Amino acid sequence: MNKTIFHLAFPITDIALAKEYYVDGLGCVPGRENKHALILNLYGHQLVAHITKQPLTPQAGIYPRHFGLIFITQSDWENLLERSLQRQLLFREEAKLRFPGSLLEHRTFFLEDPFYNLMEFKYYRHAEAIFGDYDYAQIGDTPK
């Protein structure tokens, strides 16, 4: 069992709004907080939301910057999808099946938080596709 956890820091402009979104909406467990930052537990990984005074702007598309999780079971992915729908979180891209019938087949959806941070949540049908098979060079969607 891997005993390493992932840490990601990202910008926000309002602690209360971040808690509403990440705790009440996404289901994170809140950790330490002060007037400058909030620590969140997202499925055992540490997110740190840092207050910034710099203006935050949306990305034109989902690339290049987003973060998220890859679920090991489809039911866990479906549970977060259902929670996101019930809490009426903003979907940047609706749930879909990508690369059907191939080794890279996976389910995915993108959310956008109130600070324009994008998150992708995936479930791969074949676990070996998570880090890739050299026979398949496809990564993401083809740029438009």
Which H, E and C letters describe the chain, residue by residue?
A: CCCCCCEEEEEECCHHHHHHHHHHHCCCEEEEECCCEEEEEECCEEEEEEECCCCCCCCCCCCCCCEEEEECCHHHHHHHHHHHHHCCCCEEEEEEEECCCCCCCEEEEEEECCCCCEEEEEEECCHHHCCCCCCCCCCCCCCC
Q: What is the CA radius of gyration of the chain?
A: 16
61-116: pLDDT as tens digits = 999 899 999 999 999 999 999 999 999 999 999 999 999 998 889 999 999 999 99
Query: What pLDDT is recorded for position 131?
Result: 85
Decide if 81 contacts 109 (C-beta within 8 A). Answer: yes
For residue 130, pLDDT beyond 90: no
pTM: 0.89
- Residue 137: the pLDDT is 54
Rounded mean pLDDT, 30-49: 96
